[in-house]
């Protein structure tokens, strides 16, 4: 019985620890970075089981808010090398191992 309670406590600690976004790299202005990060969190929470829908939501919102040509990648265990416009990149982690990369390229 005690082991089960300890397991639940460990799981709760893990969820609390990984429930905030961790920005790995960004060259966006502060205001844009905060808005983009909040949008990414909202999309990932809304579409927990469908990364494609979350990416589409982020891209469409970024296109409307900051002009067209935004690209979004969401997933686990991938590598990338991209070209982007200066001051238009956000790379973050959310929920532990879910990576989100948002960039603009004209």
Q: Give the per-residue pLDDT at 95.
A: 84
Q: Give the per-residue pLDDT at 78.
A: 87
Q: Give the per-residue pLDDT at 10.
A: 64
Task: Give the strand pairing for 89-94 and 98-104.
Answer: antiparallel
Domain count, the chain: 1
Q: Per residue in 62-74, pLDDT tens?
A: 999 999 999 999 9
Domain with 84 in it: what CATH number?
Answer: 3.30.740.10
Domain that holds residue 91: 1-104
Helix axes 30-46, 51-66, angle to 10 degrees: 150
Q: Give the per-residue pLDDT at 55.
A: 97
Q: Per residue in 9-46, pLDDT tens?
A: 666 555 555 568 899 999 999 999 999 999 999 999 99
């Amino acid at each position: 019985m005690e082991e089960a309670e300890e397991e639940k406590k460990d799981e709760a600690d893990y969820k609390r620890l990984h429930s905030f976004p961790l920005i790995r790299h960004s060259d966006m202005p502060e205001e844009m970075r905060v808005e983009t990060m909040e949008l990414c969190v909202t999309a990932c929470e809304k579409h927990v089981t469908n990364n494609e829908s979350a990416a589409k939501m982020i891209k469409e919102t970024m296109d409307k808010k900051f002009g067209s040509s935004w690209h979004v990648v969401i997933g686990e265990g991938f590598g990338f090398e991209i070209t982007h416009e200066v001051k238009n990149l956000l790379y973050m982690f959310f929920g532990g191992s879910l990576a989100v990369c948002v960039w603009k390229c004209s």
